[in-house]
Structure 1
Amino acid sequence: KEEYPMDDLRWIENAWVRWPTGQILTDHLNSLKEEPPIPAGTPDPYLPPKK
């Protein structure tokens, strides 16, 4: 027997969270296009390139 069976319709109560978190993920991905992450192994202190 499953611990959380999918035929239980209580999952619908939490389905609302998909849209706000989807927007957060989209915003994050767009910010990575504007400001790419610092490459792994970059020496400290990091100085970002001048624009």
Structure 2
Amino acid sequence: MAYQALLAEGQVSDQVANINPRRLIETWPLLNLDPRVRELWESRFPQLRRV
């Protein structure tokens, strides 16, 4: 998925420009992320943990 690469490797400016928050929350459980990446995003955006 494009979100996986964007979350793991994208620049902040690319993430801001391309991530749809609602879509990210919907797809969060399906993303195959490195545990460190998942933990970093969930610590920054606690609403992702609830998904």
TM-score, normalised to structure 1, is 0.24
Answer 1 or 2: which has greater helix percent: 2
Q: Higher relative contact order by CA 8 Å / sep ≥ 6: 1 or 2?
A: 2
